[in-house]
A and B are shown apart, each in its own frame.
Chain A
Amino acid sequence: MRNRMNAWALGFLAALVVLCAIGPTLSPYDQSQQNLELKATNPSMDHWLGTDSLGRDMLTRILFGGRVSLEVGLLATAVAAIIGVFYGMVSGLAGGRTDAAMMRIVDILYAFPFINFVILLMAIVGREFWLIFVAIGAVEWLTMARVVRGQVLALKNLEFIVAARACGAGFWHIVWRHLLPNVMGPIIIYASLTVPGVMLLEAALSFLGLGIQPPDASWGVLIQEGAKSVESYPWLLLYPCIFFSTTLLALNLLGDGLRDAFDPKSMSQQ
């Protein structure tokens, strides 16, 4: 039952990635091409999901927005993962007082109102694409650092690491060839659980007008545009919401599935 759900989630995500990657190119319309004679029309043969209030093809815009949302999701997760893995690795390997101090910093950072900093950064420094995933990535690395540090602490005194050290293996050799491959599982699990969180944050920023700027689209931008005209044209809100929520559902299912597959203890708790 669970495995089948996870397979569906994976299949859906794969299909979505392909659609978002090639869809906007195959579409006869440009995502920002306006046609004021076709304002907010219902779905038709020409426009499969209708058009928005400026006559832009909805399907093209949703697929283009999906591409942007997924890109931000993956890139920001990558930024978060790199910071988190590096920090956790250093903290776990250093041990002792350095480790205690570094983890104390993480504890303190957990209590920060990060959303305020991100909003502030976007509002005053600029609303640029690269800044979005750097800002989000800089916020989301904390849990990853904790997970990696825990793993490194458990691994670093095991016999195979001691043996490698006894053979004269250098520090970086041990990190690259012995530690990293062994913490890869948890890294992948937590990265997959970070992606939906990151996409949510991007959507929230874009919704507030601080993320992706129109005429460019992301799902947050589309939902915000839909919310503005919800009384007259509710479907302009519904279509992007359906895409966004289904994607979040699939990503969450996939993350949970991966965690169960790697960690039998969490399975028994389910």
Chain B
Amino acid sequence: MIRFIVSRAVQGIIVIFAVITITFTLSKMVPGGGVRNERFISKEAQKAQDEYYGRNKPWLVQLGLQFKHYATLNLPESEHYKGRGVDEIIASGFPVSATVGGAALLIALAMGVPLGAFAALRPNTLEDRSSTLAATLGICAPSMVLAPLIALLFGLKLRWFNASGWFDESDWVLPAMTLGIIYSAYIARLTRGSLRETLAQEFIRTARAKGASETSVVFLHAMKLASLPVLNYLGPAAAGMLTGSFIVETVFQLPGLGQFFIAAAINQDIPLTIALSTFYAALIVSFNLMVDILQAALNPRIRLQA
């Protein structure tokens, strides 16, 4: 088990450093080699900046410098937001994104799992069909379609919440609802498929034969196995929520990480771009690691393999 966790963690660290390398290389492909061409900067100031970011050194040395920054967590300043360290910017944007993303994940699980389980327990009935239909419709309403519609309905027409901005206590509700609905659809589909498959297996028949109640068969025996594919999906889902968050943060005008990332890419603020990509990679990697560990804890077959 410990060997398994260590090997996964090492793999994750490789991913993070590969992300730094790729983002750095991509940013060097900018016409002009990533040096910002600002007219109001004197030659000396430009030189001092190049010195600070190490841009006068050879490519490999610069890459090594980036590795050193991230290995020692001694991060440079942003180029566009002068005087602010990239870690400060992440610290200001992350709480916004994390609140919305965390709430969205809870909404997705709270809606998706019961919906899918309900459908799986009543196969081929009207309830099954309609919940499957709802899940399919959810898949076809991506964030760029759903977000403006939700903002229109609950923000502008009903006026229950602010349609955009990050001012009131309740401003997380609409963006989290948008992302949550989208992912609940996938989760419902997965839960239904995997619970139905599990319920057809022999150990369920054994559990029933030994006289276990229907509730304990479904919730204790079947759900434990059936939750594996759902759990497995949460890794990619976390990545997807980051993607969705670019759109959702744009529509609802939230000052989250997604907004900073797009601005950094457009402003060619390379230190901030690298920092944000690395941060995203670290998030995804730790999420996948957590999923792997949970899965190993739930599934004896994986545990034995490791």
Contacts and interface: CB of A to CB of B under 8 A. Distances in A.
Contact of B261 (A119, A121, A231): A119
7 contacts: A112-B281, A116-B280, A119-B261, A123-B266, A125-B26, A125-B29, A241-B149
Given A111-B12, A269-B193, A120 B247 contact: no
Contacts of B174: none
Interface stretch (B109-117, B139-147, B294-302): B139-147
B266 A111 contact: no
Nearest to B245: A115
Interface string A233-244: 010010001001
Contact of A204 (B19, B144, B156, B273): B144
B15 A108 contact: yes
B247 A111 contact: no
Contact of B247 (A107, A125, A207, A241): A207
The 6 A-B pairs with the shortest beta carbon distances in the complex, nearest first, are: A123-B265, A227-B148, A113-B280, A249-B140, A248-B140, A207-B144
Given A223-B145, A231-B156, A241-B145, A119 B262 contact: yes
B140 to A, nearest CB: 4
Contacts of A220: 144
Given A116-B23, A237-B148, A111 B136 contact: no
A270 interface: yes
B246 A112 contact: no
Interface residues of B, number: 52
Interface string A188-224: 0000000000001001100110100000000010011
Nearest to B123: A270
Chain B binding surface SS class: helix
Contact of A208 (B14, B152, B246): B246
Contacts of B104: none
Interface in B7-27: 11-12, 14-15, 18-19, 22-23, 26-27
Given A207-B247, A227-B144, A248-B140, 16 more contacts: A108-B11, A111-B285, A111-B288, A113-B19, A115-B243, A117-B22, A117-B23, A117-B277, A200-B142, A204-B142, A220-B144, A223-B148, A245-B142, A246-B140, A252-B136, A252-B139
Contacts of B220: none
Interface of B: 11-12, 14-15, 18-19, 22-23, 26-27, 29-30, 136-137, 139-145, 147-149, 151-152, 156, 193, 196-197, 235-236, 239, 242-243, 246-247, 250-251, 261-262, 265-266, 268, 273, 276-277, 280-281, 284-285, 288
A115 B239 CA distance: 9
Contacts of B266: 123
A230 interface: yes
A204 B12 contact: no
Interface string A76-112: 0000000000000000000000000000000110111
A226 interface: yes
Contacts of A124: 26-27, 29-30, 265, 268
Contacts of B144: 203-204, 207, 220, 223-224, 227
Nearest to B267: A123
A109 B280 CA distance: 14
B30 A204 contact: no
Contacts of A122: 265
Interface of A: 107-108, 110-113, 115-117, 119-125, 200, 203-204, 207-208, 210, 220, 223-224, 226-227, 230-231, 234, 237, 241, 244-246, 248-249, 252-253, 269-270
B18 A120 contact: no
Given A245-B145, A252-B136, A115 B242 contact: yes
A58 to B, nearest CB: 17
Most buried by A among B29, B145, B196, B276: B145
B246 A119 contact: yes
A158 B266 CA distance: 53
A112 B23 contact: no
Contacts of A113: 19, 239, 242, 277, 280-281, 284
Contacts of B236: 110
A226 B261 CA distance: 24
